[in-house]
Structure 1
Amino acid sequence: MTHGPDEWVDEEAGPVVRPYAVARGRTKSSAPELDLLATVSSTGLPVPAKAELSGQHRRMMDCVMAQTRPVVEIAAELSLPVGVARVLLGDLLDYGLVSARPPLAKATTPTESLLREVINGLRAL
C-alpha cells in the first residue's frame, strides 16, 4: 500500500479512503448552483492564506485551469462521486478560486429540427 500526503491508495483496489472522508463528512455543497451541467472555471486568484485545501481540491483546480468544464466531467476526470465533487467545488467557490455558471436554459439550445436543417445544408454543399 502506498501512503501519500492526502490520499491512501491500494494499487490493486484503488482509493481506500471513503468518499465521505474526502469531503470531511459533508454531503451538501455550500453552493446550490452547482448543477451537474454547471460549468466551472478558474478565477486565477491566488489561494487565500486561510484556505485549507486537500490534494483533491488542488487536482480540481488543475482540472479547470486550462478550460471551463462541467461539474459532471470534473467528477469523472478525478474519479470522484458527483456528490463529493460538488462539496469540494463548493469549497473552491467559497474561497473565490473558481466560478460556476449554471447550464444554458433549454430555450437557448437549438431544436432538433434546426440541427437537421443545418446537417441537410452541409450535405448539400
Structure 2
Amino acid sequence: MSNTEPTSKEIYDTVVGYVEHNTGGVQPPLIHDSSVVCSVSWNYPDEHPSRVRSAIAAATSRGDLFRHIDDSGEYDRTYLGINDADALERKIREYHDRSERTTRSGAIRLQVANKRVADLRGEDNGE
C-alpha cells in the first residue's frame, strides 16, 4: 500500500462533496449515481470503482446521502441526493430559479426531491 492511496474517508468525503457541488443551480437537485462513480473515479485513477460504490453505500447508510431508484422507464435509473431537508430544499429553489426549462428527467428528480424533503420533515402529503 503506497502513501498516496486514498483512505476510505477521503473517497467518502469526495463522494458526498461531489453530490453536494453537482446538484442545484442549473442542475436538478438529484444526480445519477453512475455520474458520481465515473467522476469520482477520475479523481482516483488507481482505485477500483467499487471503492466509490462502497463510499456511496456508506453515505446512504449513514444518512449523508439518499438513494432513489426510478423504475418508471425502460430501465432503472438510480439517483443520489443530499439527505438534509434544508439543503435539498435550497437545491430545489436554486434549480427553479436558474433553469430555463425542465426535462422529463429533471421533473422526476424535482418530484423525488420534494417528496424527500416532506419525508425528512415528517410531513404527510396524503400519499
- If the length of structure 2 is used for normalisation, what is the TM-score? 0.40
Q: Which has the larger radius of gyration?
A: 1
- If the length of structure 1 is used for normalisation, what is the TM-score? 0.41
- Higher helix share goes to which structure? 2
